[in-house]
Amino acid sequence: VSAGSLSPGMLRWTRSWRLPLRGLGPCSLSFCRVPVAPSSSGRSGAEPRSVLLSYKLLDGEAARPALVFLHGLFGSKTNFSSIAKALAQQTGRRVLTVDARNHGDSPHSPDVSYEAMSQDLQDLLPQLGLVPCVLIGHSMGGKTAMLLALQRDLAERQFLLTNLVEADGRFVWRVNLEALAQHLDKIMAFPQRQESYPGPTLFLLGGNSKYVLPSHHAEIRRLFPRAQMQTVPHAGHWVHADCPQDFVAAIRGFLA
Which positions are catalytic? 139, 178, 237
Residue 88's contacts (CB-CB under 8 Å, 6 or more residues apart) are 58, 59, 60, 94, 95
Distances (CA, A) of 228 to 220, 236, 250, 251, 255: 10, 19, 11, 12, 12
Residue 28's contacts (CB-CB under 8 Å, 6 or more residues apart) are 21, 22
Q: What are phi and psi of 83, to 5 degrees?
A: -65, -40
Residue 91's contacts (CB-CB under 8 Å, 6 or more residues apart) are 60, 64, 67
How would DSSP label each residue in 212-223?
S-GGGHHHHHHH
One-letter identity of residue 223: L
254: Cα separation from own chain's centroid? 28
User: Is it true that the peptide bond before 8 is cis, omega within 30 degrees of 0?
Assistant: no
Q: What are phi and psi of 218, to 5 degrees?
A: -65, -45
212: Cα separation from own chain's centroid? 20
Burial of 95 (0-12, 13-18, 19+ CB in 10 A): buried
